[in-house]
Amino acid sequence: MHKVAILLAVLISATTARAQGGVDLSALMRDTCSHCHGDTGDASSRMYPRLAAQNRDYLEKQLRNFRDGSRVSDIMNAMAAALTDAQIVALAEFYSAQPAEKHRVRTSKRALEAVGSYIYHEGNEYTQIPPCADCHGEFAAGDENLPRLAGQHRHYVVEQLMAFENRSRTNDNAIMHSIAKNLTELEINAVALYVSGLVEEGGAEGN
Ligand code: HEC
Ligand code: HEC
């Protein structure tokens, strides 16, 4: 039964992908995006960010930034180079409509997760780190322009925080740089673990 439901969901989303805003995404996604980000943006490898349920305007902005080179990534700059505006809009529409999932946090990592929860909701007043929740929201769902962090691979979150810190990611308006530069490695790993296990709408947050 479960398998049938999954199959149906895949079939339905494949149909949606083809129909998105009149733009045919099926070949593009099958031949490129899906290899790394999965059929529905639920990347199976921790090396690649999850796109499923990511916010639409944020996705559009990132794809434009990869295309014009203002967000630097060898892989994604090449992937986005030939995308048309219509394809970018349709891709953002498709991935943002896919369901979110969270990661299970191992029992042995609970203490680290608790540190992450503290940083996420309270920040660190001794090092001037504001609560992440102020911008990314209580359940890390973000909003139109702010990325969703809930359910993201922690490896990716760690890498992005490091990239903001060392200025290899500079396509935002410097907010994340000023935050990331004060985070310790422990805090980065803790907060990444915490958000990877979150889902919004009364999910297993537990405060
Ligand atoms: C070979 C693997 C690969 C392929 C194929 C690929 N990507 Fe990516 N994608 C990545 C990696 C790696 C990153 C993280 C880049 C970074 O570190 O900044 C990424 C990041 C992204 C992001 C930013 C996510 C975020 O949370 O900021 C978006 C959006 C995205 N990819 C969309 C796409 C789309 C659409 C396609 C198909 C046209 C595609 N990708 C094809 C590997 C891939
Ligand atoms: C003042 C608002 C603000 C606060 C506070 C904030 N962020 Fe952000 N964050 C942003 C914005 C804006 C972006 C999007 C940058 C862009 O458009 O490229 C972002 C992007 C990110 C990303 C990249 C997501 C992706 O999919 O690539 C991560 C990871 C992140 N923030 C983590 C955090 C963490 C962890 C904290 C708390 C320690 C935090 N942020 C606090 C505004 C904020």
Give the lowest-confidence range in 11-15, 35-39, 193-197. Answer: 11-15
pLDDT of residue 183: 97
User: Is residue 119 within 8 Å of 190, Cβ to Cβ?
Assistant: yes
Residue 31: which pLDDT band, with cuts at 50, 70 and 90? confident
Check residue 156 and give left, alpha or beta (phi > 0: left; psi -120 to 50: alpha).
Answer: alpha
Q: Could you tell me which residues come within 8 angstroms of residue 176 by beta carbon, excluding any fewer than 6 positions away?
A: 161, 164, 169
User: Is residue 53 within 8 Å of 98, Cβ to Cβ?
Assistant: yes
Q: Is the dihedral of CA 184, 188, 190, 191 positive or negative?
A: positive
Give the lowest-confidence range in 29-33, 51-55, 138-142. Answer: 29-33
- The alpha-carbon radius of gyration of the chain (Å, integer) is 17
Q: Is the pLDDT of residue 66 over 90?
A: yes
| Protein residue whose Cα sits closest to atom 43 of ligand 2 | 135
Residue 203: which pLDDT band, with cuts at 50, 70 and 90? very low
User: How far is residue 106's CA from residue 145's CA, in Å, rounded to a whole number?
Assistant: 31
* Tokens 């490695």 -> residue: 185
**Relative to the CA of 188, which ligand 2 atom is closest?**
35
pLDDT of residue 2: 59
**Relative to the CA of 58, which ligand 1 atom is closest?**
27
Ligand 1 contact, 146 CB (< 6 A): no
Residue 42's nearest CA partner among 116, 151, 126, 129 is 151
Among 48, 62, 132, 143, residue to substitute to test ligand 2 (most atoms within 8 Å of Cβ): 132
For 96-152, the pLDDT digits (tens) are: 999 988 888 999 999 999 999 999 999 999 999 999 999 999 999 999 889 999 999
User: How far is residue 139's CA from residue 89's CA, in Å, rounded to a whole number?
Assistant: 26
User: Is residue 134 within 8 Å of 141, Cβ to Cβ?
Assistant: no
Q: Could you tell me which residues come within 8 angstroms of residue 58 by beta carbon, excluding any fewer than 6 positions away?
A: 142, 144, 145, 146, 147, 148
b/e string for 98-136 if b means 16 or more Cβ within 10 A? bebebbebeeebeebbebbbbbbeebeeeeebebbbeeb
